[in-house]
Chains A and B, each alone.
Chain A
């Protein structure tokens, strides 16, 4: 009956981020922590774990236990259950987890319990759910919490405690349906009176209207109830439930098969043929329910005394079993040669991995497609195939990383070459020489300018004849002064004429001074600009020279070390990959063997029955012929 429980793990896929309490914002804009939170909630668990490692490596403090919770969540998301379990156990047993307020803590315990439950670690889930203080749990989680507590108490704890939880669930909530289903299963396990079981199944059926997919859920409940009543010899009750299962759902084959058997048990042989024919016609022969039907139909025909028809049906079944056996054998061969798993692995998306990422099973036109989907319904196989897929994805990641490292090596080499060129060109010293040359030119020019433009009257710019003229003006002026002292006969007009002539020359000189000063200022500005530019170039060259070595120094060695580590990791991973492939292969091989064995049994039954029927019909014929002769 334990397998029933697995049918009941109905809760929608819970993502790892649900585990976390309401987050506080990233502390002091810590980009690594912020990105870790983002990756975790966005379902990118590998990145989240990477950031978490980085935070721990850098010894960042102030995060308390939140990093442990993040790590455990990411590990669970990546399918690292053993690591996560250890981490959770440490957290659960730690009484110092005090950074969370009571409602958030209740929420955290609840989500931890939910994750343990979904991973099948029910004992740990029970411990966690018992830590939840129901008064603090958020209103929108209350019903789910009571459902989880009900289920865990029913199957792992004290069933008596489950009653108070089930009564606390709002009947309009979808969780009420799931809780009543689990209660029914628990009753069937505990041999509770059949009327109580039926009442609980009916109650669950009534409540299905509150769920997202009421039809599918009602089908499931009806199938469960039908199988239970059939197994306990209550055919009529079984028929009532099995008749209600829809004809185009996921539970149709099982329901049709059980319906047929229930009718047979009620001696309604004619009616039993109808669901079995329907099942045989509409579904693949690789479906195990169809295989059972193939052998059940002729037996039923025999019961109905349609012996010739039964003989034909047995012959048909034998042929079909031959075919199924051959197909299964081919699958086993493909498995041995890697034709079965490798194409499946190759089509997996390179960055989609972890416990919450389903394996892409679409192998168009592959003969093992139906078988694969059938075998995937087994939870254990799914887990192992996911592990194999994760290893495959990791392998491609490692290979991709090695390509990256090669590219990084090229980048580092290019930078080194660039640096060598910079060094060889000696840009810094060239610019420095140019700059000092310009500066000395500037200084010289400035001293010459200062000298030339010292006197604003422009005498510094006079030519030699003009200088002579200026000197002679001084001499003439002196002579006029002396003559005028000696005799008053000297007219003032001489002095005026001299001043006029002198004025003309000084005007010319002053004009020239202004003109030249303008030119010199412009040239000086140009030179200053050139010096400024050269200074900038010099600084840039100096910066490039300073920076260049840092951009490649040490990287080559780092790249080499990392590449070696990647190579080693790849070799290690390859070994584990083949071991895991072997493991998955062995599961499928055992399964195929079992299926083949079952088909062989059916075939043997069919052959024996056919032979017996052949004998019976031939004897009958002989007897009839003998009677006619007599």
Chain B
């Protein structure tokens, strides 16, 4: 009888140990899932905040943005871009290696967002980089453009000129 009692006791202990272990393991897996869920929620929330910011700070009637894009140009590696809007320096950006690769692989960078009055304006973009042999390259592109009462998007476009095997720099308006 004593032996049966002790066996039963150890069985209960074993089961409770197993259960506590499985509860612990489930807790750990649950925590990981909880963290992932939180990450997804925070990212979505931050996106909502970003939307609100854009709508509030840059209303559709005055909003203005400049993008940078670059084709796979073999003879040019972008290093920095500086923007001058209506004779005022508004922004500049120095590129990391991954960002250069991101542009090469079809990405578009929003380099500047702001508000602009309707009327005529002038944008100058100074592009700094280096060529295949590591020699510095500096180009300036200029655009005069009109702004009506709707959003205006411009693109500083670096494309490959296959005839000369050299990069072409331009500012393009998005219609």
Interface residue ranges, A against B (CB under 8 Å): 15, 17, 20, 22-26, 29, 31, 34-35, 37-43, 46, 49-51, 53-54, 78-83, 387, 390-391, 394, 397-398, 401, 404-405, 408, 411-412, 543, 547, 550-551, 555, 558-559, 562, 565-566, 569, 572-573, 576, 579-580, 583
Contact = CB atoms under 8 A, between A and B. Distances in A.
A397 B106 contact: no
Interface in B106-122: 106-110
Contacts of A408: 52-53, 56
Which of A34, A43, A53, A391: most chain B Cβ within 10 A?
Answer: A34
Given A543-B149, A551-B56, 4 more contacts: A41-B105, A78-B39, A401-B46, A569-B41
A80 B46 contact: no
Contacts of B168: none
Contacts of A555: 52, 55-56
Interface string B44-88: 111111111101110101000101010000000000000000000
B96 A42 contact: yes
B75 to A, nearest CB: 19
B43 interface: yes
B47 to A, nearest CB: 4
Nearest to A575: B34
Contacts of B99: 38, 42
Interface of B: 28, 31-36, 38-53, 55-57, 59, 61, 65, 67, 69, 96, 98-99, 101-103, 105-110, 149, 153, 155, 174
B43 A583 contact: no
B45 A34 contact: no
A404 B36 CA distance: 25
Given A35-B110, A41-B101, A411-B56, A82 B33 contact: yes
A31 B153 contact: yes
A37 B32 CA distance: 28
A35 B105 contact: no
Contacts of A22: 105
Contacts of A565: 45
Given A24-B106, A38-B107, A53 B49 contact: no
Nearest to A28: B174
B53 A37 contact: no
Contacts of B40: 49, 80, 83
B98 A42 contact: yes
B106 A566 contact: no
Nearest to B51: A54
A31 B108 contact: yes
Contact of A80 (B39, B49, B96, B155): B39
29 contacts: A22-B105, A25-B106, A26-B108, A29-B108, A31-B67, A31-B108, A34-B67, A35-B110, A37-B108, A38-B99, A38-B103, A38-B109, A41-B105, A41-B107, A46-B43, A50-B43, A50-B50, A51-B47, A80-B36, A82-B36, A387-B32, A391-B35, A397-B42, A401-B45, A401-B49, A555-B52, A558-B52, A569-B41, A576-B31
Contacts of B45: 398, 401, 562, 565-566, 569
Complex A-B, nearest 4 residue pairs according to Cβ-Cβ distance, in ascending order: A34-B108, A38-B107, A41-B102, A23-B106
A551 B57 CA distance: 9
B31 A579 contact: yes
B57 to A, nearest CB: 7
A391 B103 contact: no
A354 to B, nearest CB: 9
Given A82-B33, A576-B34, A569 B42 contact: yes
Contact of B49 (A38, A54, A412, A562): A562
Contacts of B31: 576, 579-580, 583
Contacts of B149: 543
Which of A20, A29, A547: most chain B Cβ within 10 A?
Answer: A29
Contacts of A51: 47
A573 B109 contact: no
Contacts of A80: 36, 39-40
A477 to B, nearest CB: 64
A357 to B, nearest CB: 13
Given A49-B43, A54-B47, A569-B45, A394 B38 contact: yes
B36 A83 contact: yes
A547 B150 CA distance: 12
A380 to B, nearest CB: 11
A562 B48 contact: yes
A546 to B, nearest CB: 10
A380 B110 CA distance: 38
A20 B28 CA distance: 32
Contacts of B105: 17, 20, 22-23, 37, 41
A272 B77 CA distance: 56
Contact of B174 (A29, A54, A398): A29
B98 A43 contact: yes
Contacts of B174: 29
B1 to A, nearest CB: 40
Which of B56, B61, B107, B153: most chain A Cβ within 10 A?
Answer: B107
Nearest to B57: A411
A82 B31 CA distance: 12
A317 to B, nearest CB: 37
Contact of A34 (B46, B59, B106): B106
A46 B46 CA distance: 9
A390 B39 contact: yes
Contacts of A576: 31, 34-35, 38
Nearest to B96: A42
Nearest to A383: B32
B107 A29 contact: no
Contacts of B41: 569
Contacts of B48: 562
Which of B32, B98, B153: most chain A Cβ within 10 A?
Answer: B32
